[in-house]
Structure 1
Amino acid sequence: MLTPRLRTILAALAMLVLSACGGSDGGKHQAGNGALTINLAKLPAGLPAAVRISGPASYAKTISSGQTLSGLAPGSYTVSADSVLSGNLSWSASAPVQSATVADGATAIVNVSYSSSTLTLAVRDVARVDGAVFLTAPAGDPRQFIVDRSGRIFVMQDGALLATPFLDIRNRVAASGEGGLLSMAFHPQYASNGWFFIYYTDAGNNIVVERHSVSAANRNLAEPSAVLEIIRIPHPGATNHYGGLVSFGPDGFLYLATGDGGGAGDPDGNAQNLNVLLGKMLRLDVANARGAQPYVIPATNPFAGQSARRAEIWASGLRNPWRYAFDTERLYIADVGQARREEVDIAGLSQAGLNYGWSISEGSLCYNAAICNKSALTMPAFEYDHGSVNGCSITGGYVYRGKAIAELAGRYFYSDYCGGYLRSFLLRDNKVTEETSWTIPDIDGVQSFGQDGNGELYLIASTGKIYRLVRAGSP
């Protein structure tokens, strides 16, 4: 039998446990007996909403459908309903922000009613650089860095191109065929270490990735003497299919995508050969890069420690990946086809060692019928046929995460060099949905996308014109 003193101690302990547990969101807010019902109206069935609720004691929750939130502390709550997109229809709440007062033991009600309008996009001409092939910027930086195939990088600041290039290595770059200075990437700690990486082809037809540094005296200039070669990949023969993008993943490692070496049908079988670095996605650790050891192999690379395979390889079976993009924990790879199919491959960053099929398959089609066993291959998440409507050579873009057109969040944008259009799709529940064609003026030879430090998107034409994607009618 429990003594009165022991009962008192146990009761006190129980109260301590209850008070430590907090509310329904992991103890991040004060618990109570109030409730808040969010009703959503006139939103298409199956279309997830984006409604944010905030309140006392740092309460914060986001819901995608109507529901009742219980166990709330008394006080004032703010309900904010973001616009959501379905195809090119934008569904907006008639009252995007509402307040509700929750009383102890009572239920407050907020009704959110939506109506639709057509979201219209436009492109705005922002610059012209002959030979422009890429645009990027460090996260949060208001400038844009424009890569010119001949071997220069220009800075655009406050809408104007600076006269002196950020970097000029034209004396080391060979821009014949599809080669040249093809991309650059800023280190995740660029603000503190000043490192950036470039991907180019040299006079020997090799693919070269180097680390450079910004000048300490002028942030609009690179330091010409601070150069470290990271990797040099032989690319004998043809002057096409170089791949061309270097980028840092969310894991902090350096990725680069190489083409298969050129020539119709991958005549040397590079893409399926795990002893060569062509036709691959590579993954390197350059955190402590130095002359004696410019990179190390991440321990989680699929072939790390295997002498019979190149440990730099992250994925294989690529023809000419042009371009790829990270979005949180996913990787989107746009791979240019041979003569029939263009494809986008999508995988999680934890999915190492995937084989995307080339030149056994072209997209999901058999290319080499004699060996077309697709059981060990990863088929594309999205593909399209060549033709007058679709084009002939995919240009991969990015998943939109900017703020200027918030409804576009999560949409992957792409184009086609022969098509000149702008299209997007949404990956939902690992399935491609909401394939959308956006009405913009045709752009002559969309050869690359760009993304600035705020996540806004740009399109780069073969003419050297650079366009920013905007909401139609925006200032």
Structure 2
Amino acid sequence: MPTPHLRTVLAALAMLLLSACGGSDGGKRPAGNGALSVNLANLPAGLPAAVRISGPASYAKTIGSGQTLSGLAPGSYTVSANSILSGNMTWSAAVPVQSATVADGATAVVNVSYSSSTLALAVREVASVSGAVFLTAPAGDARQFIVERSGRILVMQDGALLGTPFLDIRNRVAVTGEGGLLSMAFHPQYASNGWFFIYYTDAGNDIVIERHSVSAANRNLAEPSAVLEIIRIPHPGATNHYGGLVSFGPDGFLYLGTGDGGGAGDPNGNAQNLTLLLGKMLRLDVANARGAQPYVIPATNPFAGQSGRRAEIWASGLRNPWRYAFDAERLYIADVGQSRREEVDIAAVSQGGLNYGWNIMEASLCYNAAICNKSGLTMPAFEYDHGSVNGCSITGGYVYRGKAIAELAGRYFYSDYCGGYLKSFLYKDHSVTEQTSWTIPDIDGVQSFGQDGNGELYLIAASGKVYRIVRAGTP
């Protein structure tokens, strides 16, 4: 225990330290007595702005409406006003970036005036690959990897397809019905470990997920001998509804969207059967995948450790989740309907164990019954009826996070195999808003979207043509 003399010395040292730090505020001096008034004009009522203010001592703040910022340190401040999108209307600042000098005890003023214009999108053909079904790339990579249903993956570099495939497993892939090589996913640490994963169907009608590795000698080629089977899922009987997408979530786990096994109406009840892996979203930990243990069950999977239920299951009640997408901590599942309605299910990535209803429900409609028990089921966030306008089979896309058309940030894009259109919506505050139809030429059979390493989006037609979504007028 300190002596009285030592306590006195310690107290004196504490006072000296506080004095050196400028007081007892934890070492933080007051920022200053300056102010900056940011005034916004000509924005529609209720439309939030996106104005970022940065200044001395790493000051940074984003505001959505006009306001006066006080307690600022003297110095130069930068006011950057991003363009804002509502539907297909863009509001842009006449002067997007302005500077203001804040003096102690004074208020500087910046006026931001907006004007509106119509945002138009277009599609530009970038490749034509017979049987193309998917496009992706490692984050930040300038190349595009195009998946060919027959069993090849091609590399497009600087706008040209390379002559030698990145991967060719046509001898193991069966393209019967809706089968084939359907997608691929790069590991989040691909730059260091070289791993990528593929989703295909084999001659036995099984769904197969494999891990492959890039060649150390040539980054445009896969290493043919470095193959590890992760999981094999029996798919007996029908040759449709295989699902088809393998993807990594923001949690680092591997996700698979499997179809219900095919046949009209899920005759075997697979989607609601928690002892089977069909009609589900699966979640696997493949961080330390090896031959003896190709995957482990994440401890947070909803049925982990439970008997009578497959622990791989993350969500159930899906008919044919051909394409789904992650956006930050949110998961969008586009589930293809039976004969009446298409749907998009949206949930937080952390929400495991959800049952999306098939084949009790088709979207929010009771399937083959006047009434049904909806308790415990999760209804879609978005749905539409079949018909000549809407189409017959949803093709889910992605939430735009690219830089080329920054106003589109946060919009989820989708199409329809029978519709040939391009549409989007914004999911905000647990509801779908700003449903927008974009004027582009009809594309016959939009069967997939793609996303490159910079977050730009692509459309893939049944003809094999690959289109990039661009701002209209872009060369």
Range class of TM-score, shorter chain: over 0.9
Deviation of 1:18 after TM superposition, in Å, equals 2.1
Q: Is 1:20 equivalent to 2:27 in the alignment?
A: yes
Deviation of 1:354 after TM superposition, in Å, equals 0.3
Deviation of 1:371 after TM superposition, in Å, equals 7.3
Please give the alpha-carbon distance, in whole angstroms, between the structure 1 residues aligned to 2:366 and 2:29: 58
Q: Counterparts in 2 of 1:54-453, with a 5 A limit?
A: 54-369=54-369, 372-453=372-453
Please give the alpha-carbon distance, in whole angstroms, between the structure 2 residues aligned to 1:179 and 1:134: 14
Contact 1:400 1:411 in 2 (8 A): yes
Q: Name the counterpart of 2:3.
A: none
Please give the alpha-carbon distance, in whole angstroms, between the structure 2 residues aligned to 1:174 and 1:433: 41
Identity of aligned residues (%): 86
Please give the alpha-carbon distance, in whole angstroms, between the structure 2 residues aligned to 1:332 and 1:8: 58
Contact 1:360 1:371 in 2 (8 A): no
Please give the alpha-carbon distance, in whole angstroms, between the structure 2 residues aligned to 1:53 and 1:112: 12
Please give the alpha-carbon distance, in whole angstroms, between the structure 2 residues aligned to 1:420 and 1:224: 37
Against the structure 1 CA distance between its residues 201 and 102, is the aligned structure 2 distance closer, same or farther, given a 3 Å change threshold?
same
Which 5+ residue runs of structure 2 have no aligned equivalent?
1-7
Q: What TM-score results when the alignment is normalised by the length of structure 2?
A: 0.95
- Specify the SS of the correspondent of 1:369: coil
Deviation of 1:252 after TM superposition, in Å, equals 0.4
Q: What TM-score results when the alignment is normalised by the length of structure 1?
A: 0.95
- Specify the SS of the correspondent of 1:116: strand
Please give the alpha-carbon distance, in whole angstroms, between the structure 1 residues aligned to 2:27 and 2:299: 40
- Specify the SS of the correspondent of 1:271: helix
- Specify the SS of the correspondent of 1:223: strand
Q: Name the counterpart of 2:38.
A: 38
Deviation of 1:35 after TM superposition, in Å, equals 1.2
C-alpha offsets along residues 43-83 of structure 1, whole Å, 9 cap, x if unaligned?
A: 11111211111111111111122222122110000000010
Against the structure 1 CA distance between its residues 22 and 430, is the aligned structure 2 distance closer, same or farther, given a 3 Å change threshold?
farther
* Matched residue type, 1:103: A
Deviation of 1:332 after TM superposition, in Å, equals 0.2
Contact 1:256 1:282 in 2 (8 A): yes
- Specify the SS of the correspondent of 1:251: coil
* Matched residue type, 2:360: I
Please give the alpha-carbon distance, in whole angstroms, between the structure 2 residues aligned to 1:272 and 1:419: 30
* Matched residue type, 1:13: L
Against the structure 1 CA distance between its residues 197 and 22, is the aligned structure 2 distance closer, same or farther, given a 3 Å change threshold?
farther
Deviation of 1:21 after TM superposition, in Å, equals 3.9
- Superposition RMSD on alpha carbons, in Å? 1.7
Deviation of 1:283 after TM superposition, in Å, equals 0.3
Please give the alpha-carbon distance, in whole angstroms, between the structure 1 residues aligned to 2:39 and 2:12: 45
Please give the alpha-carbon distance, in whole angstroms, between the structure 1 residues aligned to 2:123 and 2:93: 26
Please give the alpha-carbon distance, in whole angstroms, between the structure 1 residues aligned to 2:339 and 2:28: 61
Against the structure 1 CA distance between its residues 171 and 8, is the aligned structure 2 distance closer, same or farther, given a 3 Å change threshold?
closer
Q: Is 1:49 equivalent to 2:49 in the alignment?
A: yes
Please give the alpha-carbon distance, in whole angstroms, between the structure 1 residues aligned to 2:304 and 2:37: 53
Deviation of 1:8 after TM superposition, in Å, equals 11
- Specify the SS of the correspondent of 2:24: helix
* Matched residue type, 2:87: G
* Matched residue type, 2:441: P
* Matched residue type, 1:257: G
Deviation of 1:19 after TM superposition, in Å, equals 5.5
C-alpha offsets along residues 142-186 of structure 1, whole Å, 9 cap, x if unaligned?
A: 000000000000000000000110000000000111000000000
Please give the alpha-carbon distance, in whole angstroms, between the structure 2 residues aligned to 1:19 and 1:471: 50
Deviation of 1:321 after TM superposition, in Å, equals 0.5
C-alpha offsets along residues 331-354 of structure 1, whole Å, 9 cap, x if unaligned?
A: 000000000000000000111100
- Specify the SS of the correspondent of 1:407: helix
Deviation of 1:6 after TM superposition, in Å, equals 8.0
* Matched residue type, 2:104: D
Please give the alpha-carbon distance, in whole angstroms, between the structure 1 residues aligned to 2:68 and 2:299: 46
Deviation of 1:17 after TM superposition, in Å, equals 3.2
Deviation of 1:430 after TM superposition, in Å, equals 1.5
Against the structure 1 CA distance between its residues 109 and 47, is the aligned structure 2 distance closer, same or farther, given a 3 Å change threshold?
same
Count residues in correspondence: 465
C-alpha offsets along residues 371-393 of structure 1, whole Å, 9 cap, x if unaligned?
A: 72112100000000000000000
Please give the alpha-carbon distance, in whole angstroms, between the structure 2 residues aligned to 1:20 and 1:361: 60
C-alpha offsets along residues 313-371 of structure 1, whole Å, 9 cap, x if unaligned?
A: 00000000021000000000000000000000000011110000000000000004277
* Matched residue type, 1:297: I
